Structure 1
Amino acid sequence: MNESERPATYWPDSEAEVPMGPVERVIYASRSEVRGPVLEEMRRIRDHAVVHNRRHGLRVALLNMNGWFVQWIEGPQEGVDELLARVSGDERHHGLLVIHRSKGRPRLFRPWIGSIVQSGESDRQVHLRVRAQYERHTRGETCEPSVAWLKLCAPPAPDMPRPLGRSPRAMLLSAQGAQAFGLLEWLVVKEQRLLVRRRFAGGAEDAPDVESDYVDLPASGPRGLRLVANARKGLAMGMTHAFLPDCAAVVLLLDGSVGRNQRLVERVLTACRQTHHSPLIVGLGGPDQVSTELKELVERQGMPWAEAVAPGSAHGPAELWATLEPVLAQLD
């Protein structure tokens, strides 16, 4: 698997700054009635939504998954309510259920974000999660919208320990190629865990598919760990921005190129600035790859840095994981 070095995906901007104050945040789920190509329909939805969102100061993430739509809306309460009323009569879906509503800081940084996820789950499995989240919402349980979204669209493995709430999440990125995905695949075999593959496709001609695979590791740390391998180009996409604030750490799998390593660090720092988040940045690699210059670059932005330096010159997945695991096991 090779990952291209294409420019960051462009999304039409709303010509307005992301609000710094609290916004209305709503997530609903509904059954899709789309019978033709989903990507084409998502593009039609995008073309209309970008104009509408600009006018009303809204930002929206729309996911199509296993015959379901899940939409996350943020913006002024009046605009959010108007959009909910309008989409309730849309014939492309039915059975709309609001599964989250709160007021808080914005998490969406694009006027429209489209995702298509295909998995081997049955309709009933998704339906049960929708009902469970709907019931939590109607009981008055509160959480961040990203938590509600993940419970529905990317639930934890059944054996994950959760005595103190959600398990920590760590993002894994590589400076070259798809080594992050290779390390994750090796770890899945070693630990005999399920690899969950997610491919996100923005509904735009210039938005290539972005893979974001993950594995849940119940034995890593006191609360377990979700390790998510992301494509570098995914750092520019809205879904990555929305969930970056939930990552306790971002692991950078470095290589022998000073330039590639620096570009990766700069991409990550840019995304963190945009989302106002300061995760632990972990440099992973050999002694000649994890450099003082990278540490200083991260710390100049006021962000924490940790090193996972694999000894010797041979750095296969076994050596890398043996070096990285103790660092991740300390995450809160």
Structure 2
Amino acid sequence: MTRDDTTDEDFASTLALDLGDEDMVYLAGPEPVTRIVRVAPAQVQGSAMDGLFAARRRVHGSAGVPGLSGAVLHVGGWFVLWQEGPQAAVQAALQPSQRRQRYGTPRLIHRSVGPRTLAEPLALSITQWPEKPERFAERIEAIAAAAPQLQPQQVWRAFSEPCTLAGARPLLIPQRVAVLASDGQRSIEVARRLADRFDHPLVYRRFAGARPGSRDVGAAYLDLPLPAALLRVLAVSRRAFAHPLVHESLRHAGRLTLLVGTQETRAMELAVGVAAFLGRADLRPAIELVAESPDVGSFVAGFLRNRTGLAVSEVEGRPGDAQLLALLMGSRAA
């Protein structure tokens, strides 16, 4: 399929060619619901992801509560559970359970009424950051003190995306730039090289949707203390970009750097997903397109301009790490 024999609408309608239904974004409704966020010490034996997959199976069985949507995170030896639904459904979820032996006594961090953000029975996430449980417990206290003034998604981000720099405040939101690539894991490979270059840790994250049997996908982030500002580089694999919890991470990104290869179909799948995400979230970030093929880059840039109404800067070739970092900072200087 090339631009000579298809249209923008064709590409939009075939976005799911390489993305299974289990990875597609489900939109939440505007009706007010009860939202809660709880934390509990994890008692995991074996793989944390396998434990979350088991929880997903239970939610689709006898443990499921009609009308209740949720997301669960494993980080720093703790579970974080974000749930939304009618008040009766949330109250049912708060009832003591015989399954409580899998984790410690939950602590309610946030409760509010507002628009529903989550729309799946249980989305899964892991943050692979070697934070000691005691340090995470200190972070809980700081987040809990601020939680009444926050939305549940802000509480979730504070738990799921800790700043890796020493002395950083728990609620600090660095200046963010996202790196998305049309080819496999290229964005994460770029972040890994930058982490090695600056000798800063790269935090890996895993996500999975609610559908039983759907596999997990990867993302990563890197915090850099640059002279002008603290910069967080969010690296998202092509498959992970469709996950709604990944979209929550990208909402504060002021710049999107898109790395597209020579395969036009994959490049357009990424472009269609980006345009749809920006439209739903009503975001207007700066967009930088780095294309190995001038023809593919020109076509993708034109599509994004037409669909989003945003300016799209174009860079041809495969830049080195120094030039790429300059692009992430908003400068074309190497």
1: CA distance, partners of 2:69 / 2:306: 31
**1:241 partner SS:** helix
2:142 aligned residue? 132
Aligned match for 2:114, one of 101, 104, 123: 104
Contact preservation (8 Å) 1:100, 1:134: yes
Structure 1: runs of 5+ lacking an equivalent = none
1:256 has 2:262 as partner: yes
Structure 1 pair 135/201, CA: closer, same or farther in 2 (3 Å)?
same
Following superposition of structure 1 onto structure 2, how do residues 83-232 of structure 1 map, counting pairs within 5 Å? Answer: 83-86=93-96, 90-137=100-147, 140=148, 142-158=149-165, 166-201=173-208, 206-219=213-226, 221-222=228-229, 224-232=230-238
Q: What's the offset of the Cα at 1:318?
A: 2.7
Contact preservation (8 Å) 1:9, 1:236: no
Aligned match for 2:53, one of 32, 43, 50: 43
**1:197 partner SS:** strand
Task: Report the residue type matching 1:101 in the other structure.
Answer: R
**1:10 partner SS:** helix
TM-score (norm 1): 0.79
Following superposition of structure 1 onto structure 2, how do residues 25-44 of structure 1 map, counting pairs within 5 Å? Answer: 25-35=35-45, 38-44=48-54
**2:82 partner SS:** strand
1: CA distance, partners of 2:318 / 2:128: 37
Task: Report the residue type matching 1:288 in the other structure.
Answer: P
Structure 1 pair 146/13, CA: closer, same or farther in 2 (3 Å)?
closer
Q: What's the offset of the Cα at 1:45?
A: 2.4
**1:321 partner SS:** helix
Structure 2: runs of 5+ lacking an equivalent = 1-16
Contact preservation (8 Å) 2:42, 2:77: yes
Structure 1 pair 9/24, CA: closer, same or farther in 2 (3 Å)?
same
Q: What's the offset of the Cα at 1:70?
A: 0.6
2: CA distance, partners of 1:326 / 1:58: 42
**2:131 partner SS:** coil
2:287 aligned residue? 281
Contact preservation (8 Å) 1:117, 1:200: no
Contact preservation (8 Å) 1:244, 1:275: no
Q: What's the offset of the Cα at 1:285?
A: 3.4
**2:134 partner SS:** helix
Contact preservation (8 Å) 2:33, 2:87: yes
RMSD: 3.5
2: CA distance, partners of 1:62 / 1:231: 21
Following superposition of structure 1 onto structure 2, how do residues 269-308 of structure 1 map, counting pairs within 5 Å? Answer: 269-275=275-281, 277-285=283-291, 288=294, 291-308=297-314
Moved more, 227-236 or 46-55: 46-55
2:326 aligned residue? 322
TM-score (norm 2): 0.79
**How many residue pairs were aligned?**
316
Contact preservation (8 Å) 1:13, 1:111: no
1: CA distance, partners of 2:314 / 2:168: 25
Task: Report the residue type matching 2:260 in the other structure.
Answer: L
1:149-170 CA-to-partner distances (Å, cap 9, x unmatched) read 23223212336988x9622322
1:8 has 2:20 as partner: yes
2: CA distance, partners of 1:326 / 1:177: 24
1:262-312 CA-to-partner distances (Å, cap 9, x unmatched) read 2211122234445554544331235816744323322333352331525xx
Q: What's the offset of the Cα at 1:253?
A: 0.8
**1:226 partner SS:** strand
1: CA distance, partners of 2:111 / 2:101: 23
2: CA distance, partners of 1:287 / 1:10: 31
1: CA distance, partners of 2:20 / 2:189: 22
Contact preservation (8 Å) 1:193, 1:215: yes
Task: Report the residue type matching 2:299 in the other structure.
Answer: E
Structure 1 pair 216/97, CA: closer, same or farther in 2 (3 Å)?
same
Q: What's the offset of the Cα at 1:172?
A: 1.0
Contact preservation (8 Å) 1:252, 1:282: yes
2:9 aligned residue? none
1: CA distance, partners of 2:168 / 2:39: 27
Task: Report the residue type matching 1:258 in the other structure.
Answer: E
Structure 1 pair 93/84, CA: closer, same or farther in 2 (3 Å)?
same
Contact preservation (8 Å) 1:43, 1:203: no
Structure 1 pair 72/279, CA: closer, same or farther in 2 (3 Å)?
farther
Contact preservation (8 Å) 2:127, 2:161: no
Moved more, 68-77 or 284-293: 284-293
Q: What's the offset of the Cα at 1:36?
A: 5.8
Contact preservation (8 Å) 1:212, 1:230: yes
Contact preservation (8 Å) 2:185, 2:238: no
Q: What's the offset of the Cα at 1:30?
A: 0.5
Contact preservation (8 Å) 1:159, 1:218: no
